[in-house]
Structure 1
Amino acid sequence: MKLVVQVKLAPTPKQAAALEATLRACNEAATWVSEIAFERGEFKNFALRRHTYDAVKSRWNLGAQAAQHSIKKVCDAYTTLKANLRAGNLGSLGSRRYRKAAQKPIAFRPQSAQPYDDRMLSWQTAERTVSIWTTSGRVKNMAFTASVEQLAVLALYRKGESDLLERDGMWFLNATCEVPEAPLNTGPVDFLGIDLGIVNIATTSDGEIMAGRGLNRTRLRERGLRTKLQKKNTPSAKRRLRRRRRKEARRARDINHKIAKHVVAEAERTGRGIALEDLTGIRERVRLRKPQRATHSSWSFRQLGQFIAYKARKAGVPVVHVDPAYTSRTCAECGHIDKANRVSQAWFACRNCGFVDHADRNSSRNIRARAWELWRRGAQSTAPAPPRTPRSEAGRKRSITASDAHCASPSL
C-alpha cells in the first residue's frame, strides 16, 4: 500500500531562496498552463503539452522534467475538479458555488506542492541529505531531519515521486513509499466495537474509554482566542492567527493517530476485527443548537476512521462498518430499544431488564454484535486501499497537511 513519509528540510538561507524561487516559478507556470487549458478546453496531458511545453521551459527557465510535472499537475487538478463537480461536492448544478468553481481557470498558490521524480531529486538517506533540482541549478547536500522509523521506511520502501512544499517558512518533502501489507485475517475470532463520539473520542467494547475532554477544552480556549484576535484585526493579531491556524488540527491529528494505532494493535494482538459505525452524512442528518455547531463541526470522526482503516489494512485486520441507527438506544443485553434507555450523555439504563452501563460502552457492544452478524453472513472487510491522491492535491495525502491548488476554477 502507498503511504507518505514527510521529512523536514533544513536548508541554508541561500538554499531556501533557491527553493522558494523554484516553487514560485513552477506554480506561476502551472497557473499559465491552466489558463491555456481553460481557454482551449484541452485537459489531457499530451495534447496540452503540445501547446505549452516549449513556452514553459523558456519563459520560466524550467528543466524538461519540471515543465512536464507542472503540466501534469494542471491536468490532475482539472480531473479532480471535474470529479468534485459531478459528485456535487461544490454545490448543485447551477448554484452560485458551482458556477464560481466552474467558470474560472484553476489558479495555483505560490507555495503549492511541486512533484519531483528521481531525475530531479536524489536521496542520501544514511547521510540525511538530498540533492534537489532548482531553477538556479542543482542544490546538493541539503540536510533533512527524520526519525529512525522514517529513515528505515525511506531506505526500504521509497518508490515514486516526492512532493516539495513550503509551509509557514518551513520546507518539507513528502516521499511516496510502497509499504507491504500483512495478509488479511479472514477468520477473526470476534470484533472489537468502536463507538466514536465528541465527549469520548473512542470507546471500545472492552470498556476502554479514550476521552476527549482535554482536547475539547483546548478547542474551546483556542476558539475564544481566535475570536479576540479577529476582533482586534491588527497586523500583529493576524500574524498570531496565521501561526496558530494549524495548531489545533495538528493536535487533533496526533491524537487520532495514537488512538488508531492503539485500536489496531489491540485488535491484531487478540485476533479480532474492528467494527466501526458508518457515519457518512451525519452532519447533514442532525439538527443542532447554535452553541453546539462549532463543536460538532470540529469533530474529526472521519479522519479517525480513515486512520483506523489504513492502519488496519497494513496490519491485515478486517474492518466492518455497520449501520449506527439506534445503537445508543438498544440494550446490549436484552436488545430492547427505547429512547428513554439513554438517561444521560454518560449512562444507559434499560427500561426492560434493568441493565446499567456506560452509554458509549453499551453502544460499542451493539456495534460489535452487528459487525459479527454481518461477518457471519459473508460481509467483506471495508478497509480498502487508500485512494490515490492526484498531484493537484499532493499536500493532502495521508498524514500530510499542506495547501495546494487553489481552485477558482473551470467549466468542464
Structure 2
Amino acid sequence: MKIVAQVKLLPVSVHDADALAATLRACNRAANSASEVAFRTGKVRRNVLQEAVYHRLKADFDLGAQPAVRVVKKVCDAYATLKANLKAGNHGPVGSKRRARAESKPIVFREDAAQPYDDRILTWNLDQCTVSVWTVAGRIKHVPFVCSPEALKLLQQRKGESDLVMRDGMFFLIATIDLPEPALYEPRGFLGVDLGIINIATTSDGQIMSGRRTNRYRRRMNRLRAKLQRKRTKSAKRALKRVRRRESRYATQRNHIIAKKIVHTAERTSRGIGLEDLSGIRQRVTARKHQRSRLHSWAFAQLGSFVEYKAQRAGVPVVHVDPRNTSRQCSECWHTHRTNRVSQARFACRSCGAVLHADHNGSRNIAHRADAVWQRGAVNRPSTA
C-alpha cells in the first residue's frame, strides 16, 4: 500500500528559497505550454507529447532533461485524471454541462503548483536530514528538512516520486512510501459506523463521537472571517491569510483522531468495519439555506478515507454498504418506516417499541448489513486457500 510522508524544507539562505520558488514558476509555466499543445493536438499520451514539446521546454524555460520529462508526465497525468473524473461525474444535464465546460479549454497550472521530482533530480540524506535538489539556478545541496520521528521512520521505505510544494511561503516535500500490506484477517462480526454532522461518528458499540466541538469551532471561524472581510484593511487581509487554512487543519486532526479510535477498536476486538457508501450524497441531499454551510463543510469523505487506509495498514477488513433506510429501519425487528425516526437523536420503533439513540440504531443496521455483505463474499475478503 502507498501512503505519503511530508517534510518541511528549511532553506539556509534567501538565494536558496528564491531558487526553489523560481523552479516551481518555471516548471508550471512549462506545464501550461505543454498543456496547450496537448489540448490543441490531442496528444495526451506521454511518449507522443514528450516528442512534441521536449526540446521546446528545455530551450524556452531553462529546464534540464529530467525536469522536462517530469513536466510532461505531470501534464499527461492531469489530463488522465480529468478524463476519469468527467467519466465518473457525467450524469444528467449538470454532468454534461460540466464536461463541456472542462473540455472547452486546456488545463491550467498555478505558478506555485506542486512539481514532481524523481531520484535523478532529488537525493535524500536521511542520516543528516538533508536533501539535494535540482533548481533552475543549479543543484542546491544540503538543504535541511524537519519532520516527525514517525515520518522519518517511514522515509526509510521511500520509493518513487516526491512532490515539491510551496505553501504560504514555506517549502515542503511530500514523499511516497510503499509499505507492505498485511493480510486481512477473518473478522468475528463487524463494527458499524454511522457518519453524521451533529455526531461525526457513532459506532454500533454505542460510542458517540460528537461533532459539537468541531461545529462550534467552524462557526467561530466563520464569524472571524466575516468580521475581517468587512474591515477591508491591510491588517485584516494579513489576518485572513494567516487563518485561512486553520479550520481545515483542525478538522483534519479531528478526523485522524476519530479514525484511529475506530480502527483500534475493531482491531482489538477482531472485527471488521462497516461504513456507508456516501458517494454523491451532496448531489442527492437538499438542505435549507442556513444548513448548507454545515453540509458542504462536512468532511465525511476524508474521514472515510482515513478509516480505510488506517484499517488497511492494520489488516482490518472494511466493507461499504448501501445507506438507504439505515436511519428508518429498526435494528431489533427490521421494521422500516419514516415515522420510526422521531427526531434527530431519538429512534422509536412503531412495531416492536424499541427505543434507541437514532445514530446508534443506524450504526447497528450498518454492522448487520456489512456482515451480510461479507458472508455473501465481499470484494476484499481474504482468500481461504
TM exceeding 0.5? yes
Deviations 1:264-319 (A, max 9, x none): 11111111000111122222222221111111111111111111112112211111
Give the 3-state SS of the residue equivalent to 2:5 in structure 1: strand
Q: What's 1:395 paired with?
A: none
Give the 3-state SS of the residue equivalent to 2:331 in structure 1: coil
Comparing 209-218 with 51-60, greater Cα deviation is found at: 51-60
Q: Does 2:16 correspond to 1:9?
A: no
Q: Does 2:162 correspond to 1:162?
A: yes
Task: Tell me how far apart the structure 2 counterparts of residues 358 and 182 of structure 1 sit (CA, whole Å).
Answer: 36
Q: Does 2:380 correspond to 1:381?
A: yes
Task: Tell me how far apart the structure 2 counterparts of residues 214 and 268 of structure 1 sit (CA, whole Å).
Answer: 27
Higher relative contact order (CA 8 A, sep 6+): 1
Comparing 172-181 with 247-256, greater Cα deviation is found at: 247-256
Change (3 A) 1:229 1:101: farther
Deviations 1:366-405 (A, max 9, x none): 111111122222233389xxxxxxxxxxxxxxxxxxxxxx
Alpha carbons 2:89, 2:95 under 8 Å: kept: no
Alpha carbons 2:263, 2:311 under 8 Å: kept: yes
Give the 3-state SS of the residue equivalent to 1:5 in structure 2: strand
1:233, distance to aligned residue in structure 2 (A): 3.7
Q: What's 2:195 paired with?
A: 196
Alpha carbons 1:91, 1:98 under 8 Å: kept: no
Task: Tell me how far apart the structure 2 counterparts of residues 379 and 361 of structure 1 sit (CA, whole Å).
Answer: 24
1:54-73 pair list within 5 angstroms: 54-73=55-74
Q: Does 2:268 correspond to 1:269?
A: yes
Comparing 201-210 with 237-246, greater Cα deviation is found at: 237-246
Task: Tell me how far apart the structure 1 counterparts of residues 24 and 197 of structure 2 sit (CA, whole Å).
Answer: 39
1:257, distance to aligned residue in structure 2 (A): 1.3
Q: What's 1:335 paired with?
A: 334
For residue 197 of structure 2, what is the amino acid of its counterpart? I
For residue 311 of structure 1, what is the amino acid of its counterpart? K
TM-score, length basis structure 1? 0.87
For residue 181 of structure 2, what is the amino acid of its counterpart? E
Alpha carbons 2:184, 2:381 under 8 Å: kept: no
1:29-108 pair list within 5 angstroms: 29-88=30-89, 92=93, 97-108=98-109
Comparing 48-57 with 248-257, greater Cα deviation is found at: 48-57
Q: Does 2:127 correspond to 1:121?
A: no
Q: What's 1:404 paired with?
A: none
Task: Tell me how far apart the structure 2 counterparts of residues 356 and 122 of structure 1 sit (CA, whole Å).
Answer: 61
1:92, distance to aligned residue in structure 2 (A): 4.7
Q: What's 1:172 paired with?
A: 172
For residue 333 of structure 1, what is the amino acid of its counterpart? E
Change (3 A) 1:149 1:259: same
Give the 3-state SS of the residue equivalent to 2:134 in structure 1: strand
Task: Tell me how far apart the structure 1 counterparts of residues 188 and 42 of structure 2 sit (CA, whole Å).
Answer: 55
Q: Does 2:303 correspond to 1:304?
A: yes
For residue 77 of structure 1, what is the amino acid of its counterpart? A
Q: Percent identity?
A: 58
Task: Tell me how far apart the structure 2 counterparts of residues 5 and 153 of structure 1 sit (CA, whole Å).
Answer: 7
Deviations 1:165-201 (A, max 9, x none): 101111100101101111111x211100101010110
1:131, distance to aligned residue in structure 2 (A): 0.8
For residue 350 of structure 2, what is the amino acid of its counterpart? R
Give the 3-state SS of the residue equivalent to 2:312 in structure 1: helix
Give the 3-state SS of the residue equivalent to 1:43 in structure 2: coil
Task: Tell me how far apart the structure 2 counterparts of residues 322 and 196 of structure 1 sit (CA, whole Å).
Answer: 13
Change (3 A) 1:345 1:128: same
1:238-253 pair list within 5 angstroms: 238-253=237-252
Give the 3-state SS of the residue equivalent to 1:357 in structure 2: strand
Task: Tell me how far apart the structure 2 counterparts of residues 241 and 207 of structure 1 sit (CA, whole Å).
Answer: 40
Alpha carbons 2:374, 2:381 under 8 Å: kept: no
Alpha carbons 1:219, 1:248 under 8 Å: kept: yes
1:77, distance to aligned residue in structure 2 (A): 1.4
Q: Does 2:316 correspond to 1:317?
A: yes
Where does structure 1 lack aligned partners over 5 or more consecutive residues? 384-412
TM-score, length basis structure 2? 0.93
Where does structure 2 lack aligned partners over 5 or more consecutive residues? none
Give the 3-state SS of the residue equivalent to 1:171 in structure 2: strand
Alpha carbons 2:321, 2:366 under 8 Å: kept: yes
For residue 104 of structure 1, what is the amino acid of its counterpart? K
Task: Tell me how far apart the structure 2 counterparts of residues 23 and 330 of structure 1 sit (CA, whole Å).
Answer: 54
Deviations 1:221-272 (A, max 9, x none): 1122222333344444333333322211111111111111111111111110
Alpha carbons 1:193, 1:367 under 8 Å: kept: yes
Q: What's 1:401 paired with?
A: none
Aligned residues: 381
Task: Tell me how far apart the structure 2 counterparts of residues 148 and 283 of structure 1 sit (CA, whole Å).
Answer: 38
Task: Tell me how far apart the structure 2 counterparts of residues 53 and 3 of structure 1 sit (CA, whole Å).
Answer: 31
RMSD across aligned C-alpha pairs, in angstroms? Answer: 2.0
Give the 3-state SS of the residue equivalent to 1:57 in structure 2: helix
Q: Does 2:208 correspond to 1:206?
A: no
Alpha carbons 2:10, 2:143 under 8 Å: kept: yes
Give the 3-state SS of the residue equivalent to 1:377 in structure 2: helix
